[in-house]
Structures are given as structure tokens and as C-alpha cells.
Amino acid sequence: MAFYSKNPRNIVNNLKSKVGLWSLMKQSHGTCSYSSCLNTIHLHRFLPLTTLPQFTNPDSISHKKGHFPHFQRFQSTTTEKQIDSVPNGEHSQVLDFPGGKVVFSPEMRFLSESPSVYSQCYRVLDDNGQLISHSNFVPVSEEVAVKMYSNMVTLQTLDTIFYEAQRQGRISFYVTSIGEEAINIASAAALTSDDIVFPQYREPGVLLWRGFTLQEFANQCFGNKADYGKGRQMPIHYGSNKLNYFTVASTIATQIPHAVGAAYSLKMDKKDACAVTYFGDGGTSEGDFHAAMNFAAVTESPVIFICRNNGWAISTPTSDQFRSDGIAVRGQAYGVRSIRVDGNDALAMYSAVHSARHMAVNEHRPILIEAVTYRVGHHSTSDDSTKYRPANEIEWWRMARDPVTRFRKWIEINGWWGSEAESQLRSSIRSQIAERAEKPPVNDLFTDVYDNIPSNLREQEKLLKETINRHPKDYPADVPI
């Protein structure tokens, strides 16, 4: 929309007085030092927001005027000195520009399409569960470590039970988390119950950690009456208001910008919490990912992006999705601090998420975590992954890189776990699930949308019940009419 005014100067002056734009422009941004953090993960493991070789600490960069772009939302292009000379360049100049300084150079140089040095992957435990020498991580108590391992075993067992149930025709669909148990459980352990989770569909372990019972999982997958969605959703689309876990949506990446909006709300309300969103490598190919990253950086929202880079977006390998050095470097492009982590190392995941949460909440900044892992199971029960990847590759990741086995070895080395505790744990899990339960009534299909159900829906409900009564053999006998 455009408009014409005879006195544009009056409009500008009026905006100045109403909005206080000039005073906002002069406000300093203010930074938070990372030194107050827990001295657990060196900051250089997180990718800085810009590539500046003379500095190693992003926070030290933020204090150097002219070298690091302030992320103040209202910054003036008018400065005391718009153009300065660059000491090291005879013909180079620096121009103040919204968001930072632009360095001019007479040399024509294109940015390389790939880095000369690839991003490192943060790791604490080797494949045998041994601590890597000189590794730094957030200490984990025996109680927390044992709970983490117990939850990972429970998640494995849960996947086995429901996968078999689908193959037997008792549920229509299922998605496993095999090979990605550490990402689920370790990240959940590093968060607080006030943090709001926006999942994809491969994070039931986060719910498990927060207290979602095995029967509640069964209620959703089998569409029981006690299901919080009243049986209306397809299996594995869990959700819990009580546990701050938004309901799963099948649409790829739509949860990512939602998480940023929630994080911005938490920031405005001055809450001691952050939003966390999970997605796969395929999700980063969606526009929602890029919009969310930029949205989070500009609004400085306390949100943690956790990407499960498991190598495959259904049958599409990462090599057919992007040419960048993984996912973490994309955060740098948007001004988001990032880190690449071994997603099969529970201790590394816990430490990275724990530190990321501290920065997100205390410094009001988004953090991107790329968890490098492998999807050992099929994409879903509708998929046969052996059609597009070799079976021996899958088996190698299942046996040699299993995150549950690796973490078990570490707690056994610490004397916190043994074979007797293992057998007791595994035998107790299956007894907690009772799939047979009463189903929701047919009329629940028509409720919870309108306060007063309109006549057309009442007519549909009537016709459906009449059809069921005429053809009872074509409909489940355990669904009350």
C-alpha cells in the first residue's frame, strides 16, 4: 500500500516523537558474558556468529565495535563517521550499515562454496564407553545417569512392542527411534519441565523422561478412550499440555517457527525457560526452517534448535539434499550460535544441550545443535529402507555405534550398573503396558470443534450411526455407538 503526502517531513517528525526512534537507535545492545556459564564446554566448540580469525570467543567479538554486527533491532544508519578507513588496507573503507559494518575492498574475491576446514563434532565418550582424554563435559550424577540409561532401554523396548503390534495389524502405523535414543533422552535430561517442546515425530523419549507413562503411549497408539486426542489422531502423534509437549504434526518443519514464536513470548514474559524444537535433516530443506532461524536471530529468542542429522530424509540421502558442511554452519549464516555433536554420545548430548539452555535463557539467544546420528530403523512401518541402503551398513550402526550400549559401558565403568539391574529393568518394562482398553464413542468424532454443534454435523453423526447399525460387521465392535 502506498500513500501521498504534501508534508512528509511532518510525518517523520511525528513518528520520532511518538515512537522515540532516535533514542532506540542510540541504545547499546548489552551483552552477557559466557564466563558465568558452567565452564563445561569450551565456547570455541560452538561456531561463532561471524568468521573472524583474530578472535576465538564470540562474546569477546561482541565487545569489539566495528568487528561484530550488533543485533539491535533499531539501529541508525546515521553515525558520527559513516565511512572509516581500514588500517590494513590502503584503498579499503568501512561503511556503517544496518546490522554491522561493510568492508570495501578493491580485490574481487568470491566466498568459497565449502570451508577449508570442516566443523568439528563434539564428543566425550568413545565407542567403548571410555572417556576421551581432555574432554570437558557437564558432570552427571549417578541418579541422573541411571535414569538416562533406564529411559533409553525403555524407549528401545517400547519401539519393539509397538513395531511388532503394527506388523500384527493391531495398530495402523508406527515410527521407531532406534539409533537415536541418546538424542531423545539426553536432551530431555538437560532441560527443565518449564521448557516448551515442539517435537517432530521421533522424540517420544522426551515425553518418557518427563513422566509420560507407557500406558499413555499405548492409549494414543491404540486410540483408547483415555487418549488425550480421543482417538482422532494416527499413532505416534503424542501430546501433553501438562508436560509442555506440543502435539506431534506430520507436516514437516511446521513446528520450527512455532517454537520461535513461543520462545519470543517466554522472553517477553521474562520467564526462566526456553523453547526447544526437534527436526530431521530433511526438515532443514523446508522454508520453515530458514524463516525460523532468521526470526529467532532477529528477535533474539531463547530457543534451541535440535536437528537430528541421521543421514536420510526417508529415502533421500543428505548428499541429495544439500552441499553445505552439514547443518551447524547454517546457523552461522543467520547469526545463530551453533555446535555439531555426536548424537550417539549421550554424555556429549547432555552437555551440549545443558550449556545451550544456559546461553538461550540467560543471554536471550537462539542456539542450533546438529546431532550427528544414524536412523537404524526404517523411516516408518510404511517404509523398507533396505531398498535404498545396504543392510550391512544398517547392521554396523546397530552393533558398533549403538548409543545405549555405549552409555551402559560408561555407567558400568563407574560402578553404577550391573547385569542384575539390567535383567530386572528389562523384565519390568513390558508388564507396564495394557493395550486393551475401552474405545472412545462415535460421537467424539463430532465434538470439541464447535461450542454448539451445527445441524449439518448432527445430521452426519446420525447417518454414521445408522450405517454402523445396518453394517455392524464392517465396523469395530468395541467402539460404543
Exactly one of 177, 216, 379, 385 is catalytic; name it. Answer: 379
Please pick, among 76, 250, 265, 428, the residue that the annotation labels catalytic. Answer: 250
Whether residues 448 and 307 fall in one domain = no
Residue 150 within any structural domain of the chain: yes
Residues 6+ away with beta carbon under 8 Å from 8? none
CA diameter of the chain: 90
φ, ψ dihedrals at 398, nearest 5°? -65, -40
Please give the backbone phi and psi of residue 289, each rounded to the nearest 5 degrees, phi first.
Answer: -60, -50
Same domain, 453 and 345: no
Reply yes or no on whether 134 is catalytic.
no
Task: Answer whether residue 352 is part of any domain.
Answer: yes
Rg, the chain, Cα only: 26
The candidate with the shortest Cα–Cα distance to 373, out of 178, 115, 144, 159, is 178
SS3 346: helix
On the question of pLDDT at 356 being above 80, the answer is yes
Residues 462 and 340 placed together within one structural domain of the fold:
no
Kindly report the backbone phi and psi dihedral angles of residue 203, in degrees, each rounded to the nearest multiple of 5, phi listed first: -130, 40
Say how many C-beta atoms besides its own lie within 10 A of residue 364's C-beta: 18
Do 315 and 413 reside in the same domain of the chain?
yes
Region of poorest pLDDT, from 144-158, 179-193, 425-439: 425-439
In DSSP notation, 128-158 reads TSPBPTT-------HHHHHHHHHHHHHHHHH
CA-based torsion, 118, 120, 121, 125: positive or negative: positive
pLDDT band at 88; cut points 50, 70, 90: low
Residues 210-223 have pLDDT tens digits of: 999 999 999 999 99
- Residue range 93-100: average pLDDT? 79
The CA distance from 380 to 110, in Å, is 43
Pair 223, 345 in one domain: yes
What is the arithmetic mean of pLDDT over 379-388? 96
pLDDT for 36 equals 38
What pLDDT does residue 112 have? Answer: 82
The larger pLDDT score, comparing residue 117 to residue 446, is at 446
Share of the chain above pLDDT 90, in %: 70
pLDDT tens, residue by residue, 163-198 = 999 999 999 999 999 999 999 999 999 999 999 999
For residue 421, give the H/E element and its range.
Answer: helix 419-429
CA-nearest of 349, 357, 361 to 404 is: 349
Question: What percent of the chain is modeled with pLDDT above 70?
Answer: 81
Residues 241, 173 share a domain: yes
In a domain, 33, yes or no: no
* Shared domain check, 321 and 204: yes
Do the domain assignments include residue 182? yes
* One domain for residues 222 and 336: yes
**Amino acid in the structure at residue 393:** E
Q: What is the pLDDT of residue 251?
A: 95
**Per-residue pLDDT tens over the stretch 268-291:** 999 999 999 999 999 999 999 999
| CATH number for the domain harbouring residue 327 | 3.40.50.970
Distance CA 238, CA 206 (A): 11
Residues 269 and 412 in one domain: yes
Same domain, 363 and 452: no
In a domain, 110, yes or no: no
What is the CB neighbour count within 10 angstroms for residue 389?
15
456 located within any domain? yes
Quick check: pTM over 0.85? no
178 and 267 in a single domain? The answer is yes
Strand 275-280 and strand 312-313: the pairing is unpaired
- Annotated catalytic residue, options 301, 338, 380, 385: 380
225 in any annotated domain? yes
Domain span at residue 459 reads 442-471
Half-sphere exposure of 86 (CA within 13 A, CB side): 17
CA atoms within 13 A on the CB side of 98: 6
Task: Give per-residue pLDDT as tens, 20-43.
Answer: 433 333 343 333 433 333 334 444
Q: What is the pLDDT of residue 89?
A: 54
Instruction: Look up 379 and say whether it is catalytic.
Output: yes
In this prediction, residue 147 carries a pLDDT of 98
Structure confidence by residue, pLDDT tens digits, 394-423: 999 999 999 999 999 999 999 999 999 999
> How distant, in Å, are the alpha carbons of 86, 89, 111, 433 from that of 106?
12, 10, 15, 70
What integer pLDDT is reported at residue 304 of this predicted model? Answer: 98
Of these residues, 63, 142, 164, 193, which one is catalytic?
164
Q: What is the mean pLDDT of the chain?
A: 85
Helices and strands: H and E segment counts in the chain: 15, 10
Query: Is 380 annotated in the active site?
Result: yes
Residue 51 has pLDDT above 50, yes or no: no
* Position 369 pLDDT exceeds 80: yes
- Answer yes or no: is pLDDT of 341 > 50: yes
Q: With cut-offs at 50, 70 and 90, classify the pLDDT of residue 15.
A: very low
Q: Is residue 25 part of a domain?
A: no
CA atoms within 13 A on the CB side of 294: 4
Q: Which string of DSSP letters, residue by residue, matches 351-378?
A: HHHHHHHHHHHHHT--EEEEEE----S-
What tens digit of pLDDT does each residue of 386-399 get? 999 999 999 999 99
When divided into structural domains, the chain yields a total of 2
Q: Which residue do the cell numbers 551447524 mark?
A: 328
According to the model, what pLDDT value does residue 391 have?
94
- For residue range 64-87, list pLDDT tens digits in order: 433 334 444 434 334 344 555 555
462 shares a domain with 338: no
pLDDT recorded at residue 181: 98
In the predicted model, is pLDDT for residue 358 greater than 90? yes
Residue, of 257 and 69, whose pLDDT is higher? 257
